[in-house]
Amino acid sequence: MLYHAFARASRVALSLATLVPAAAAAQTGTAPPAVDDDFHSRDAGVIVVSAQGLRELDILAGTSVVEGVELQRNLDAQIGEVLTRLPGVTATSFTPGASRPVLRGFSGERVRVLVDGLGTLDASNTSDDHAVSLEPLTLERVEVLRGPAVLLYGSQAIGGAVNLIDKRIPRRVPDESVHVDALARYDSVNDSASLAGSVDAPLGGGFVVHADGSWRSAGDLRVPGYVLSRRLRADVLARAAEEEAEGELADAEELRELAEQRGRLPNSFVDTWSANAGVSFFSGGSMLGAAVGWYDTRYGLPTRPGAGHHHHHDHDHDHDHDHDHDHDHDEHGHENVTIDLRQFRADLRGELMLGTGAIERLITRVGYSNYTHTEFEGDEVGTVFDVHGIEARAEFVQNRAGALRGSFGAQYYARDFQAVGEEAFVAPHRTSQVGLFALQEYDLGAAQLEGAVRWERTGVVSSPLGVERQFNALSGALGLSVDLASGLRVGLNGTRVQRAPSGEELFSDGPHVATQAFEIGDVDLRKEKAWGVEGFVRGQLGPAQLSAAVYHNWFDDFIYLRQTGEEEEDGLPVFVYQQDGARYFGVEGQVSVPLLRQDGFTLLADLRGDYVRATLDDGSPVPRIPPLSLLGALEAQAGIVDARVEVQWFAAQNRVAAFETPTDDFAFVNASLAFRPFRGDRNVTVLLKADNIFDAEGRRHSSFTKDFVPLPGRNLSASVRLSF
């Protein structure tokens, strides 16, 4: 009796949840058909995108999906590092424990990282040393979304969006009485051990429950050669000579020891665990689901030689507080900086089928987060960041009316940010936003006309400063694409985007560890405005799969940090947020060609590349723009075995801003072997991989820490993924 009463109550709750005006629209539509448990789909021509409007209309100029064996092959501690082999994508690579995606040279406030269509509701967009609060081990799929339709997610997605799809809210009823997924992995480069598992079980009556968890422990990173770049190393040795000339022999010796560090990156450990639980109720084509989750990570921040977190503590205190790590001091007696990050998150997802009228269905999505991270210097608490956020979407998906189809909806977002401590460089503030959006497509036969529009009202209030700013932003996009007889689709998109400045850009005033700078915001900043045009081609060209794009963005009132030439008392250079015109030009592409197909054996050639050039109106380069990169690979597929060898090359970046250093070119050679002894419902994937086989030194120009945080050296890894 109780069970049936609960079922009836759930049906009522389903209807109510999808009618709440503030509810959020999930970016996925009806629950997709059960995915084959064989993680490596052979159909490279089919891309399934979960984002609702995008899957329905296929308006994007470029969409990349990472799943199955490719996701298993590229797993890392942070989502930024998972995606770096995709065209147009790199990462901030601040430290192994904190790395966010960089899309087309854009990062931070111009790239949205989403969990099933909603923001991560953390502080990763505030600073590059803050981790993205989601464990890649538990992901089912990652979608990199570019083009005008990302307006569905907000004007912050000028550069694009990364949509992370996990299984915390069940989307379908398993065929089995219990469905289990598990993953185990080991990496030699940092002695990393990782475990993850999930369980889905139907309870009958339309109910499905889910639980998952993960654990990761990684030591300090092994690196090729010296820890410091050759330019920074020369600078440190020169400073050592100066100290010696002034009679400061101890300081000179310490600087020389820093310059001679090699082989291992101190204080680069990562320890993480997560747990999630969810339940869904399905009735016909409708569903209602909810989930709660916990993410907990602790990781080290390597420190620039001669700089620190600028805490002025007495370091002779007794260390009687145990953080369960032996990373509190480096070999020179300095206090190491670590971040302890925790997030509780609750999510709601609803979908209500409305029939054959004008509206096919109503989709809702709500997320709430309570996020805290504490920066420690040794055992002492430095700065505590607290973020409380909620985001909600409601989307109405239209039934096709002749040649017209589309969707429209509303979004609400609120975020309270507070930082307390000696490095609280941003004043406490609250950001709230209401948005309305629509996405439509008109079918002209061989051509499709596509349009998107979004209006936002954003309020940013700092009570301690007595400052309140309100912004109205209107953004739009229009695109035309044509299907050619050859199997290709070509198109042209135009966009006009307006973005309100963030609280960090408005209210910063203090030392910032990630940039090693004293940052000063400007409460009078205006809206950032950009025009964009993009041409693309994608589809089948003979036996080859092709996707390529060329784009150009023109910014008015582009918000960026400019160095003033002054220094604060602690020696940090002063940077101020300013606005100027800017231009971004880029190309990116990927082509996959089968070289041989015979008796179940396929040999594929894969070529990817991208290039971005970004310039301010005064002719100076925009900082941290990634250089030209190319990736070439050969992949052999033979039944239950896949073997892949690839070379990824990054050109030198000598076109740098005044306060940047150039970055040398480098190339990594990688190889992997995937073995799948079973198919269907019982699936095992064993993957052996060697990255950076020749132990080459590499540094990412998009990283603030590139001169003292090199990329990993040679890594041998083994992983096993199970699904049954």
Q: Note the pLDDT of residue 64.
A: 85
Residue 22 pLDDT > 90: no
239 CB contacts (<8 Å, ≥6 apart)?
255, 306
E strand spans, 167-285: 179-187, 192-204, 207-218, 221-226, 262-265, 270-283
**Which of 16-25, 148-157, 427-436 has maximum average pLDDT?**
427-436
Q: What is the CA radius of gyration of the chain?
A: 25
Question: What's the average model confidence in pLDDT over 19-48?
Answer: 35
pTM confidence score: 0.89
Q: What confidence score (pLDDT) does residue 30 get?
A: 33
Least trusted range by pLDDT, from 446-450, 604-608, 678-682: 678-682
Q: Give residue 148's pLDDT.
A: 66
Q: Is 234 helix (H, G, I), strand (E, B) or coil?
A: helix
pLDDT of 2 reads 37
Q: For residue 9, what pLDDT is reported?
A: 40
Q: Is the pLDDT of residue 573 over 90?
A: no
Spans of all domains in the chain: 63-227+265-304+335-723, 228-264
Averaged pLDDT, 196-211: 97
Class of domain 63-227+265-304+335-723: mainly beta
User: If you write DSSP's letter for every residue of 617-681 in order, what string do you get?
Assistant: TTSPBPTT----EEEEEEEEEETTEEEEEEEEEE--B----TT---B--EEEEEEEEEE----TT
Tell me the one-letter amino acid at 540.
Q
* pLDDT grade for 129, boundaries at 50, 70 and 90: very high
Asked whether the predicted pLDDT for residue 232 surpasses 90, the reply is yes
> Nearest Cα to 523, choosing from 574, 559, 569?
559
